[in-house]
Structure 1
């Protein structure tokens, strides 16, 4: 329950009262919109639209129908559904794979707009999930899970997040989406089946606990090998079916041999990098800076590691434009 006097003031047009009510939910709504859209930039836009729509509609809000949090989630979810349905979000560019030198990259059915999410934004962002939640919060923000969500139809995405991640009851979700409970249950069944097929195809043991000695050991080995361009040490850390992805390009390098070949070509060209550690999507991540013979080291990309057991299952390279979200600079001083 929200304080009655605060709600009355907000409904009467008091902007400060509205901000006090709504701003406490901003971070968790940002996480929700990111899960639905796979893009931090799009999520921020959706949250802004949600807050504006809530301010415009607060005069008609009553807790007799739903809690303020549920009402805000309804607005945010429907803003995200509109964005998901927009054809402009899905680039139609065709790639000629023959232009690439061996090893030739593998086409990938993942969203080209996928972006990483800073762990710092997760602090205080998520309320305790409802009793019907099925996913651990760490799993529900992982890059693989968010990428898998982008392949589902819009309504299935909304239903599986609201039900299995946030733990809302079926009747609550039906009210948010203005559909029947049976429609919610049907969409949820299809979404669960799709996600389960992808999980079974991966067929790996879970990652080490975030911040654990096991995780730290793998990350340290990777960073040391990458900075020293030690290809053998890097390859030893990879699973057989490792995938190196490069959003927004809809392709990457699949399998240990292909990834090793791609890295070998990079290292043979004399490219050397320094890494600055951070975290994204609950996973180890690095800002990468290209060394120069002398002078400033400039940002060259952002890497997120997906770990399984004591190996690297995937590595996703994002463009350097995401670095400011992680408090990382666009350049480093000379060594």
Structure 2
């Protein structure tokens, strides 16, 4: 019975923690706690509500979990003269595989509304204390009543309402302007066409075409590297350096596979080293697109392709 809620509990824990790895661990902890407390379940609430309460408290109780971040939260934008090392001491925000999101069926589709799983939302909600984070998710994302939320987070109804009033302004302050008003939508044909043009500009090694797809104030981050780029000029400059094998530090060639992560348009980047015939997973480039142009690219190194339901490699004959 509990297993049928695994995927939506994973999404819930991910929203609270900003980490796919930590969310998986907390779902296992939830099932363990539920098993130990199974005889105390009296059926006064649904199994789903009972499991959500256990999962939420497991996440809140685990005070070791630090706030997850992206590079622009740590230092100003810059263009380093030479490559800087990755920072493994930083609790980086992690992407979430859409293959999990797509397994959640009605009536719980609200649990995977795009605006509440996007990276911009995850960054913003990390600014809230854990209990405020939980209250906002239950009330504004999952649509639970104040009474249901109060039971889930062990607060009074009045305290839930007060907590929500404090949380909402902080969230709005840290969301991008176009994300202050949520509206459920999926990846559009316009966004997919923009990805196609991006890949074509890359294949043609055309920096001007690439620049034409970007907002003037575009931001590019590449966790686990702390530096980041802001503005069209530096964004194009950073990307153009990787157009050809002779220009990039990896001395390799690239292929891109369109996909989605966090319900956002994404390119899975595969790299073929010199003297090899196989393209291997390298990074996920997750795009935030506003008004038909690229507003942000967040590039995550791929350490394990398994959760994302993508091919482990591409060959020379791969066609997009």
Q: What is the aligned counterpart of 1:303 among 265, 285, 299?
A: 285
Q: 2:96 aligns with which of 113, 117, 122?
A: 117
How much does 1:226 deviate? 2.5
Q: Say if 1:208 and 1:214, in contact at 8 Å, map to a contact too.
A: no
Aligned residue in 1 for 2:301: 319
State the Cα distance separating 1:49 from its structure 2 match.
0.5
SS of 1:266's equivalent in the other structure is coil
> 1:228: Cα distance to partner?
3.4
> Which residue does 1:12 correspond to in 2?
none
- How many residue pairs match? The answer is 303
Corresponding residue of 2:144? 168
Q: 1:182 to 1:129 in 2, by over 3 A?
A: farther
Unmatched runs of 5 consecutive residues or more in structure 2:
85-89
Q: CA offsets, 1:220-277, max 9 Å, x none?
A: 1112223333222111111122111112334421221221222233333365411012
TM-score (norm 1): 0.80
Post-superposition Cα deviations, 1:172-211, rounded to whole Å, max 9, x if no partner, equal 1111111222221122112211121233645799999535
Residue of structure 1 in register with 2:209 after alignment = 233
Alignment partner, residue 81 of structure 1: 60
The C-alpha deviation readout for 1:63-96, integer Å capped at 9, x for no partner, is: 22x221111000001111133x3156669x9x89
Partner of 1:54: 34
Between the aligned partners of 2:140 and 2:184, the Cα distance in structure 1 is 23
Structure 1 or 2, whichever has the larger Rg, is 1
Q: Distance in 1 between matches of 2:198 and 2:77?
A: 31
Q: Distance in 1 between matches of 2:292 and 2:114?
A: 18
Q: How far does the alpha carbon of each residue in 1:4-23 deviate from its partner, in whole angstroms, 9 at most, with x for none?
A: xxxxxxxxxxxxxxxxx211
- Pair 1:273 & 2:254 matched: yes
Contact 1:81 1:155 in 2 (8 A): yes
Q: Counterparts of 2:152 and 2:274 in 1: how far apart (Å)?
A: 57
> Residues 207 and 280 from structure 1, CA distance in 2 versus in 1: closer, same or farther, beyond 3 angstroms?
farther
Question: Is the 2:66–2:91 contact (alpha carbons within 8 Å) kept by the matching residues of 1?
Answer: no
Report the TM-score, using the length of structure 2 for normalisation: 0.83
Q: Which residue of 1 aligns with 2:43?
A: 63
Q: 1:265 to 1:194 in 2, by over 3 A?
A: same
Q: Is 1:289 the counterpart of 2:261 in the alignment?
A: no
Cα 1:216–1:230 shift into 2, 3 Å = same
Partner Cα distance (1:233, 1:56) in 2: 59
The answer to whether the 8 Å contact 1:29/1:73 transfers is yes
Unmatched 5+ stretches in structure 1: 1-20, 106-110
CA distance in 2, matches of 1:25, 1:42: 17
- Per the alignment, residue 87 of structure 2 pairs with none
* 1:201-216 → structure 2 map (5 Å cutoff): 201=177, 210-216=186-192
Paired position in structure 1 for 2:9 = 29
> Match for residue 107 of structure 2?
128
1:72 partnered with 2:72? no
More helix by share: 1
